[in-house]
Amino acid sequence: MRDDKDTGAEAPRQGLRVYDKFLLVLLFGVVFGMLELFGRDALRAAGVEHKSALLYGIGIIILYASKRVVHFAGSVAIMALIAGVIKTASSHFYPCQVAAVMINGVVFDIFYSTFKGRLDSSLVWRTVAAPVIVYVSYAAFAILAAFILREGSWGTDGWAGVRSYLFTSAVTASLYSIVTIHLGYYLGNALRLFVPVRKPA
């Protein structure tokens, strides 16, 4: 099922200068970082369960929108690095949180760069891709946290903690992301209209 046309729409983006691209990535990275910095604390204050899952779902809106506005290999990874630096200012900061942000950014970047045409042209592809992206990200983080970083309960729970994480928070994040990945796509399309481009001479 192909629901979106993306043929000639890519041409204007090619007019972006390198400076413009990195400025946009910086802007999106700061927005992503602000979400990571204040979002978890706000959700904690509101008593929301599975905070990381909802935060991931919201985050994927920003990640996808950024790729629709300015795409080059590694752009979201750079955004994740910026967000990770901002995240260190959190009042409840743990190193594993920066690792999670980086993993989420790198995994999304790889998936988008690999399947860009299909993701941008098919609602079905985005719907299927969302939980796959979530589970790859969550599995990579859980293994890293349990067996390398070994922070808090991650270090003591081992594989039991990994399984619990993948059957609870990852499931919730998948459900959120099945919806929010489309919001990111359409938000990105809308933002593209406001991005000035260099006209050919």
**Interatomic CA distance for residues 17 and 103, integer angstroms:** 28
Please give the structure tokens belonging to residue 115: 């399947």
Task: Kindly state whether residue 157 falls inside one of the protein's structural domains.
Answer: yes
Task: Kindly state whether residue 122 falls inside one of the protein's structural domains.
Answer: yes
Quick: pLDDT tens for 33-87.
999 889 887 888 888 888 889 999 999 999 999 999 998 999 999 999 999 999 8
Q: Using the 8-state DSSP alphabet, how is residue 7 labeled?
A: S
Task: Kindly state whether residue 199 falls inside one of the protein's structural domains.
Answer: no
Reply yes or no on whether the pLDDT at 109 is more than 90. Answer: yes
Please give the structure tokens belonging to residue 15: 């007019």
Q: What is the pLDDT of residue 197?
A: 55
- For the chain, the domain total comes to 1
Structural domain that includes position 30: 12-192
**Interatomic CA distance for residues 143 and 148, integer angstroms:** 8
Task: Kindly state whether residue 163 falls inside one of the protein's structural domains.
Answer: yes
Task: Kindly state whether residue 92 falls inside one of the protein's structural domains.
Answer: yes
Please give the structure tokens belonging to residue 193: 């209209």
Task: Kindly state whether residue 41 falls inside one of the protein's structural domains.
Answer: yes
Task: Kindly state whether residue 4 falls inside one of the protein's structural domains.
Answer: no
Task: Kindly state whether residue 185 falls inside one of the protein's structural domains.
Answer: yes
**φ/ψ bin of 16: left (φ > 0), alpha (ψ from -120 to 50), beta (otherwise):** beta
